[in-house]
Amino acid sequence: MASEIYDQLVTVFTNTDNKIRNETEKQLVTNLIDNIQNFQQIAKVAMQQDKMQEQAASLLNSVVLKMLTNNIQLTIHHANSILGVLISQYTPLKCKQSLVKCMSLIVRKDKSVKTEIENKMKEFLRQDQHWQFQTGIIFFKILLDSLELQTYSSIVQTGYEWVSEFFNQAAYIMTKLTEQPKELPDDFITTIRIYTQVVSDLCEKVFDKNNSQKEQTQPIQNILFQLNSFSGVLMILLSYSPQTGKQIQNCSIINTGNDHFDAQLNEIKCQVFKIYFLCLQVLLNSRNKNEVKKGAFGPYLTTITQLLIYSLLAYTNSESIHQIYNKPYLTSIMTYIMKLLANLGSQTEQYQIFSDSKIALITDAIYPFLITSQKEYQQMKEQPEEFVNLALDSVDKQESDVPKTAAASLLETLCDHIDGSTTFLANLAVIISQHSINMISSNPVQLKEQQLTFVMALQDKKLFKEYTPIDRIESSLVILTIMSYLIQKRLDIVQLMEQLLTDNLLYFQNVQEQIIKLRLSLFFGYYCDNLFKKETQSQNMNAYLQIMISFVQPQEPVVLYQSIDALKDIFEDDDLKNKTKDLVLLLFPSLCNGLQYSTYERHFETITNLLKKYPNQFLQNDNLLVGLIQVLNQRVITEQQKINSGDQQRHIYLNRCWNVLRQLAEQDEFTGILGKLEQHLAQLYSMLAFCDKIDYDEDLVLFISGCISKLSVVTELQMQILPYFQNIIKKQQGRLCNLFETLNQYMHFGRNYFLNEAQQSIYFQLAFQNLQNEDLHGDIEQGEGALLIQLGIQELHDDLKTNILSQILFQTIQLLQKQDINEHLKSRITGIILSSLYKIPEKTYEVLTEFFQAVYNRILETHYSPGYDIKLFIITMSSLIMKQPNLLTPNLLTIMVNNLIAQEKYEKDYKYKQNDYMDDELDDEDDSDFNDEEEIQQAQQQTEQFLSSIVKLDEYSIFKQTLLSIKNQYIYYTHSLDSHKQLIN
């Protein structure tokens, strides 16, 4: 059997026939689950030097996970087999790592195994060979992954001795790094790498700032913050700097010139920086200063700060930023270093270090990393929306893990906590911008001697030696934008920027470089409410607003998106409305043209918001709205073609187009021109003839409904597409959905169109398409079709053609004869006959003649739903009684009164429910067929969109008036009437 199991293992991982491989895998997994000896056999393969060793370990992990998922009992033999693989010297590290997941789940499920794993961890960490130490780390990882946050205790800190034990034992081998050998053995590097990776995993678990279970992680946090072996080893790892090759002395970043060695060590360093970042963002922001000072990290904070600043500046001055971006792990390292410094810079104890280093940090690190990298330039072309989002994040929340956002965070820390930084930065950015513009402009602005001296002092800096004037202008604008949150009370800085913009208006009007257009848009979007506030400066404000508008060009998507983001804020600012309202007409055509292809969500939002904020401007120039409609019409067609070609992602842009279109239909100010705008959507309307090929039929229905609702009329174009609605109902499998409201409106507001027989036929066929749908047989949803038929009869009454009425009534009778129809639906269908009797009794009697008595009896026998259905029954019968008093029999009176009692009770219960006073159970006397509250509610919701005038009538008053008007003539009913005196009165 052992040989057979091995052969199956080979087949599963080597056979090229998918069918054979899959079938064999099923057999093999079943064999391992059913027979522990087979499981142990695969474990032997995994712990021996065998060509299938790695595959065997992977299979063990999969089988255990499958057993746990399916609640198949695991035994101690399974755990021991995997343990055997883990402790074997011949099991490669990769195989051991592949078993961590299944083993951690076993530990989580069986706490008795946890003790054995803890013991093994301690045993292997005390050994001398690297494979043994690595195995000890694997056992720590198993214990770590077995932790469930909800089982942590915020009070009791016992049960975590293994955490302290791990770091205390690990410190022994890590101290060997202090010898700083020229070369590290590969085994040693591997040991350090898996150590830092596992510790990083631990810190991610317990220091996650978004963790909703912070209290539960407190015990382990406390251990780590007090554990000298934890902080000490981190300091050793952080400061390790081999004295060999090109390595910068005492620099934390490895740069020996040996690419393989550098990549290996910088991978480790990257994890170390990450660990520090995760720890310090919690330690420095949530612990009191005395606790921090007395803890394990306290003695190292100044050393860490000095080392980070030195390493950052020394390395950036020895390598070009371009090379840094292209070296493995260096991008992440730079990000973590600057984020760490942003945290440390807020600590008063570190003030002097940052104060002494601020100029170097700004000119040698912050400035260069804010300049757009080659990778970002590529993103600018291929993913313009993402590029704009990164720009916005860099100057705002800084959530992206890239050097640019980290540099922005560090800049903010300097401005917030280091005196003089804001003034220095603002002056530096303005002077560098002007100097750089002078280098490329045909109209240079003379710098003052002091400013020129300042610039000359920076000539040897990376900023001037490695970058172009365009780069310096760009980064200066970004720096000024990042500082925008500080500027409101700094009139001196605002005046500096105003002078810069005034002096260089001609340059910015003619700028060709996309990156400058982007950064100017970003800058102006953040400063528009602070700049040029004086009336004498309105011309300058107007000029720059027009520059922003000129950037809204479809041929430059990234510039379009960035300028839209700026203009969105500008035009939506109430304080700027007087300055911007006349420019809306200039901006809008460009915005509309950009919609031909734009995928930028804020683009659509901006158009919608402009429609809301400046309706008068558009009403005076309604050709702008016509242009918008035409662009959206074509964009919808284009998006639908892409969707039909298989690109389902385009649905999002199709929806955005319809959001704008619906805004036009919903906004009261545009009611007067809706009819004109609608004409330009004729092509979309006509596509309803092929609605199985379009995805916007429901959007179009909602748009039409919105138009009719606002205009209170139905247009010729809308009537032309009425027959196409049958395609939508078919597509929706007989359901009306939004068509229910729309067809209501067609009949209510477009009655005159339905005076001819052809249109009547179309309307009632649509209603019966829902009502007679077999797929919805007996469903209350079919009540919508019944209501539409009722509305058609009520609205047309005498103008309803006799043969159409005949078809309606006889189809209704056939429906009522079906078995198992929901009582609510039966009530609603009977309402068709009631509507006919109410509005056209003579014509109804004429059509029914010989069937009338049977139909009338059915009407009296029907249990009517509370709400509209009872109301219709009472009003119809009251109307009939007035015309034919002899219909008022004791039986009819009793039925009507009972219905009114049910109606009154329903209304009281509903009122109590609305006020949270309704009892959980209905009264014992309520034994009607309408105890299904959900169905009652559904029936009620249908009538909320129902445009019948009957809905507004008071059935109680009508009933009482009817009885009072005939009471004197029918004295023999006095006793019956008196028995219901309270209700009648």
Closest CA to 458 of 480, 499, 428: 428
**DSSP reduced 3-state for 663:** helix
Q: pLDDT band at 947, cuts 50/70/90?
A: very high
What tens digit of pLDDT does each residue of 63-120 get?
999 998 888 888 889 999 999 999 999 999 999 999 999 999 998 888 788 889 999 9
Q: Give counts: helices (H), strands (E), the chain.
A: 56, 0
- Give 585-611 pLDDT, tens digit per residue: 889 999 999 999 999 999 999 999 999
Q: Tell me which residue has tokens 């490695």.
A: 466
pLDDT tier, 918 (very low <50, low <70, confident <90, very high otherwise)? very low
- Output the pLDDT for position 652: 95
Spell out the domain ranges in the chain: 1-145, 159-346, 374-527
pLDDT at 153 over 80: no
What per-residue confidence (pLDDT) applies to 389? 93
User: Which amino acid is it at 437?
Assistant: I
Residue that the structure tokens 């043969």 belong to: 803
CA distance 136 to 138: 5
Q: Which pLDDT does position 218 carry in this prediction?
A: 83
CA distance linking residue 751 with residue 799, whole number of Å: 10
pTM score, two decimals? Answer: 0.80
Residue 821: band (very low, low, confident or very high) from pLDDT cuts 50, 70, 90: confident
Kindly report, residue by residue over 489-517, the tens digit of the pLDDT.
Answer: 788 999 999 999 999 999 999 999 999 99
Confidence of residue 934 (pLDDT cuts 50, 70, 90): confident
Looking at residues 788-804, what average pLDDT do you find?
Answer: 97
Q: What is the pLDDT of residue 972?
A: 52
Whole-number pLDDT of residue 149: 54
Task: Give CA–CA dist 609/521, Å, rounded.
Answer: 19
d(CA 609, CA 604): 9
pLDDT at 922: 41
Exposure letters 143-156 (e unless 16+ CB within 10 A, then b): bbbbbebeebeeee
pLDDT given at position 921:
43
What letter represents residue 367's amino acid? Y
pLDDT at 91: 92
pLDDT band at 950 (very low <50, low <70, confident <90, very high): very high
pLDDT for 886: 87
pLDDT at 626: 96
**At a CB cut-off of 8 Å and minimum separation 6, what does 572 contact?**
609, 613
When pLDDT is cut at 50, 70 and 90, the band that residue 615 belongs to is very high
Distance CA 273, CA 200 (A): 9
Residue 960 has pLDDT above 60, yes or no: yes
**Token couple for 387:** 């590029």
DSSP code, position 249? T
Give backbone dihedrals phi and psi of 408, rounded to 5 degrees, phi first: -65, -40
**pLDDT at position 198, please?**
96
pLDDT at 442: 84
Residue 760 pLDDT grade (very low, low, confident, very high; cuts 50, 70, 90): very high
pLDDT in the model for residue 210: 64
Q: Which helix (H) or strand (E) holds 198?
A: helix 186-206
Residue 687 tokens, joined: 């596509």
> Using 50, 70 and 90 to split pLDDT, how confident is the model at 933?
confident
The larger pLDDT score, comparing residue 186 to residue 937, is at 186
Task: Look at residue 971 in the predicted model and tell me its pLDDT.
Answer: 56
User: Roughly what angle, to the nearest 10 degrees, separates helices 783-796 and 757-771?
Assistant: 160
Q: Which two tokens stand for residue 881?
A: 């009684």
Give whichever of 181-190, 695-704, 769-778 has the largest mean pLDDT.
695-704
Q: Is the pLDDT of residue 248 over 90?
A: yes
Rounded alpha-carbon distances, angstroms, from residue 369 to 225, 331, 476? 32, 10, 12
pLDDT value for 294: 87
Q: What is the pLDDT of residues 350-399, one digit of tens each?
A: 999 999 999 999 999 999 999 999 999 999 999 999 999 999 999 998 89
pLDDT tens digits along 851-885: 899 999 999 999 999 999 999 999 999 999 999 98
Q: Work out the widest C-alpha separation in the chain, in whole angstroms.
A: 121
CA distance 653 to 650: 5
- How confident is the prediction for the chain on average, in pLDDT? 90
